[in-house]
Amino acid sequence: MSIGFEILVRDGAARVGRLTTAHGAIDTPAFMPIGTAGTVKAMTPEGVAATGARIVLGNTYHLMLRPGAERIAALGGLHRFMNWPHAILTDSGGFQVMSLKALRTIGEAGVAFRSHLDGSRHLLTPERSIEIQHLLGADITMAFDECAPFPAERDAIEASVERTLRWAERSRAAFTPRSGHGIFGIVQGGVHADLRQRSAARLVEIGFDGYAIGGLAIGEGQATTFAMVEVDVPMLPAARPRYLMGVGKPADLVGAVKRGVDMFDCVVPTRSGRTGQAFTREGVLNLRNARHADDPSPLDPLCRCPACTGFSRAYLHHLVKAQEILASMLLTQHNLSYYADLMADLRAAITEGCLANFDLPEANS
């Protein structure tokens, strides 16, 4: 078998599920911390696991350039290389390559580009992307896709969708099925409902182990993102996991879960942790603000992370102002713990049939 996915409870469009991979099970809805270069920034693997995360995202583009997929494979694969015993999803590299703009050329074969590290030339094709992800040992492989920019002309989006669908077929054909491993297709189409429906329908015909909703959260705004999710979700098989790529802030996650999404990834919690921002049950706190300098209370009294159980807001404020590395470490672990707890609370609300009443505070300080 490939990966397994079982839906345990439903509440409206939302569902609680269990995704089973070669490296363990993940309760969904789930948030995946981003480990771009084989590490979640400012975190140890043990610290990531302590937050409750059971799957992280690795980056095909960055790992192929440094240290190299073949090198990682020779050293036992990405799990052993980064000492992460749980599941890994790897993106296809498409988004990163597309973002190079002046350094890349898109063709039917794939994308020719120059490395942002040393200017070396590379050709990333659907087949090579899948090969790299296989060498890394990813539990979940992503099909190679083209993520068009926003805004863009409809004709350009339509051409991108058709190319992505051809690449999806090649990605599926290049994938080696094996127990506990799967491949996801990626819906594209920008903010055009009919193009997204066309993309989703064709991907379902090709047949994937899960389906990602791509090409969103790149500037179109939350209302439009949610509208496109509402277009995509009914087109996708109910028995397969749905993954909204690159999302997002807590309110984005809550809204998407209510619309039937199972999986998420985003740089927001880790990047915020490195810039003095903390997500709490009171709202978002800026630890740079002077109001925290004499506050002996914990960051979030209901949080179980080391930042909240061992230190005061005053101390965390001091670390942030002093630009100490420990500030990034503690706040990143806190934010990932908050996101994991948010996912657990959403699962509980779905199980209890009260998700419609689930909301978040809006306070900022």
- The catalytic residue positions are 91, 265
Whether 278 and 331 have beta carbons less than 8 Å apart is answered as yes
Q: Is 323 left (phi over 0), alpha (psi -120 to 50) or beta?
A: left
Phi and psi torsions of 364, nearest 5°: -135, 135
Other residues' Cβ atoms within 10 Å of the Cβ of residue 122:
17
Q: Coil, strand or helix: which one is 28?
A: strand
Residue for token digits 């909301």? Answer: 359
Whether 86 and 55 have beta carbons less than 8 Å apart is answered as yes
Residue for token digits 């077929």? Answer: 169
Tokens of 95: 């988004």
The helix or strand, by DSSP H or E, that contains position 23, with its residue range, turns out to be: none
Tokens of 90: 């790897």
- Single-letter residue type at 220: E
Separation CA 336–CA 199 (nearest Å): 32
Separation CA 351–CA 105 (nearest Å): 48
DSSP result, 118-178 = T--EEEE-HHHHHHHHHHHT-SEEEPP-----SS--HHHHHHHHHHHHHHHHHHHHH----
138: CB partners within 8 A, 6+ apart = 58, 78, 88, 89, 90, 181
Burial of 27 (0-12, 13-18, 19+ CB in 10 A): middle
